[in-house]
Structure formats: C-alpha cells, structure tokens
Amino acid sequence: AKHRLLLGVLLLAVIIAAAADGESAEKPAGEKPAEATAQAKAEVPADGAKKDAGAKLASKEAAEGGDKAPSASSGARKPKPDIEAAKRAAGKFERTEEERKKYSKMTPEERRAEREARMSERDRTREAKMEERRRTKEQTIEKTKNEHEDRRKKMEHAGHPKPNRAGPQDHMMNEFRGTAGMFMALVAPVKPIKVTFPLDEDTRLKFSAARDGLMKSVRKTGADLDVKDEKVKKDLRSKTKSNQEKTLDILLEAVKEGMTVQEARMGMVIAQFEALDDATKKEAMDKARQRQERMPSGARAKMNERLELKNKKERDQLSALKTDQEKEDFVKRIYRPRYNMATS
C-alpha cells in the first residue's frame, strides 16, 4: 500500500510539471514581463523632450563655430582635396596642361631660366657642390696625367725602357734590364781570380756583394749618357760586342788552365768587384751581409749544395773532353749572353 501511494505522488508531480512547461511555451517570444515594459516606457522621453534636446545641441554647435565643416553624422559630403596643391606643397612639381604647352614652346635658355627660378636654395647648393666635385676630379686627373708624363720623360732621358701599363715589379724589371744591358758595355772583362768549391765565407760574401756594387757603378756611369743619341748608342753597341768577345776568350783560357766555366765566371765577377772604389765596396758588403743574415741557415745550405753539384757536373763533363776544340764548343754552348745589346 505504501508503494502504491508513493508511485501516485510521483505521477502527480510529473503531470503538474508538464502542464507548467506547456503554458510558458504558448507565450510569444517578443513578449516582456509587465515590469520591464513599464520601466522602458519611463526611460523613453516624450516628443517635446526630444525637440528640446535637438535645439540645445544645435545652439551648442553654432556657439563653437559657425563656419565649421559639417560632421559626417549630419549627412553632408566632404570637399574633394586639391591634389595638385598637395603635390606642389610637397615639392613634387607637376605642370598643368596649359603650362606644358607653354613650356614646349620655350627656347633652351628660357627653360633653363625657368628651372633656375623654380629651384630652391637647397637645390642650388647641392648643384654647386656637385659642380665643385666634378671640377676637382678633372683637376686631379689632369695632374696625374702630367706627373706620369714627366716621369716617363725622365726615365727615357736616363736610358730606361719606355714603361708600360704594368705594376711596380715590372717597372723594376725594366730598369734592371736596362742596367744589365749597360753592364755589358761599361764593365770591362778581367782575368778571373782563383775560385774553388766549396766556397769559403769571404768568397761567398764578395760574390753576393758584387751584384749591388757593380750595378750601382753602372747606374752612376750610365746616368750621364744620352742613350737617345745615335752616336752614343753606336758606341755602346760596339763596346758590348767587344766585351763579349773578350769575355769568351778569357773563359776559354781559364777552362784550358783547369777551371770550370762556373768557377771562371764567378772569379771574373769578384775581380771586377775588387776594382771598385772602397766606399762602393763597403756599402755593397754591408748589404750582402745583412741579406745573408736574414736568409735561413737551411736555405743557405741548400743554395751552396746546388752550386757544388752544378760545378761537379760541369767538371765531369770537361774531364770527358779531349781536344781544345771540344772545350771551346762546350764553353760557347754555356756562355750565351742574355743582353747582347746595350740599348735596343
């Protein structure tokens, strides 16, 4: 009995809840409660109040400024901006159609005058600076050309070959070739001193110093010669040929006496160095000593070893020769001067 009573109560509660949901669903969606509707009516002003508020707003805007442009909310359109005026104010000059026609009929002088009148002070200053840079650049180029021309004339007058468009090393080589050619004409061959391998320290130092000393002497003597003169050139060529013939005779005689060509040539160079004045020899010896001190000991030892091997090979070749004619042919094959003319 208790269970039946409890089941009946639950069923009644479900029926009541379903009835309440049906009543709420039957009401329209936009309908509001009575209290909310009354509150909204109280907040909305009457027509007279609306008119009073609009009049107050208009009087306030008139007081702030009568010539003020109407706002976007009032519905009035904004005026079209003047694009040409904006470009002119920004410095971007553009001519109108009438101005273009007038400009096309101008002469170049009138156009230049019109452009100068339009240019601002800043533009004129910038143009002046650019013109100054161009003028300075032209002056620098002209000065460099004149310096190169003066240097070329001095080198030609001193007997050096005409320099080409090469680097400093090439100019030094041109100067060396000119001096070496003069060496064949101005340094007379002499009888060589006795040289034996391995070389002692004094002989090695003198042979190294001979290059600086003899070349300095040749440059000093050749500076006084006008190698452009045909008579001087002919005399130098004659001396070159004569000295080469004498050198060949001296080498042949030394070889017949038992020396190698290498020993004879080194002995001749040292003998020519010994004939220089004391000041030139001392300066050359100091340079050679400094040069040898800077050279690594291993490199110096290899250089001496190569000289000894070359001399030994040459001595073995001479030992195999029996007649003087064979020795003469051997010397001529080795002695081939690179600079057989003082000037070209």
Summarize pLDDT for 93-106 with one digit per residue, the tens: 567 888 888 888 88
- Beta-carbon-side half-sphere exposure of residue 79 (alpha carbons within 13 Å): 6
Which residue, 189, 193, 192, is CA-closest to 243? 189
pLDDT exceeds cutoff 50 at 165: no
| Domains in the chain: boundaries | 95-157, 169-334
Q: Quick check: 306 pLDDT over 70?
A: yes
Mean of the per-residue pLDDT values of the chain = 73
Q: Do 267 and 194 meet the contact criterion of CB atoms below 8 Å apart?
A: yes
Q: Residue 195 in contact with residue 203, Cβ under 8 Å?
A: yes
Query: In residues, how long is the chain?
Result: 344
What are the residues whose beta carbons fall under 8 Å from the beta carbon of 193, sequence distance 6 or more?
A: 267, 270, 271, 274
Q: What is the per-residue burial (b if ≥16 Cβ within 10 Å, else e) of 141-164?
A: eeeeeeeeeeeeeebeebbbbeee
What is the mean pLDDT of the segment spanning 25-52? 49
Query: Closest Cα partner for 93 from 119, 75, 127, 71?
Result: 119
**Confidence at residue 55, expressed as pLDDT on a 0 to 100 scale:** 54
Q: Which of 168, 180, 195 is nearest to 315 (CA)?
A: 195
Greatest mean pLDDT range, 10-14, 83-87, 168-172: 10-14
Q: Is the pLDDT of residue 78 over 80?
A: no
Q: Is the pLDDT confidence value at 258 over 80? A: yes
Q: What is the pLDDT of residue 122?
A: 64
pLDDT in tens, 138-160: 899 988 888 888 887 777 766 55
Q: Are 165 and 159 in contact (CB under 8 A)?
A: no
pTM of the prediction?
0.46
Q: pLDDT tier at 7 (50, 70, 90 boundaries)?
A: confident
> Please, which residues have CB within 8 angstroms of residue 217's CB and are 6 or more apart in sequence?
187, 276, 280
**Burial annotation 263-291 (CB, 10 A radius, 16+ → b, else e):** bbbbbbbbbbbeebeeebbeebbebbeee
**Quick one: how far is CA 82 from the chain centroid?**
51
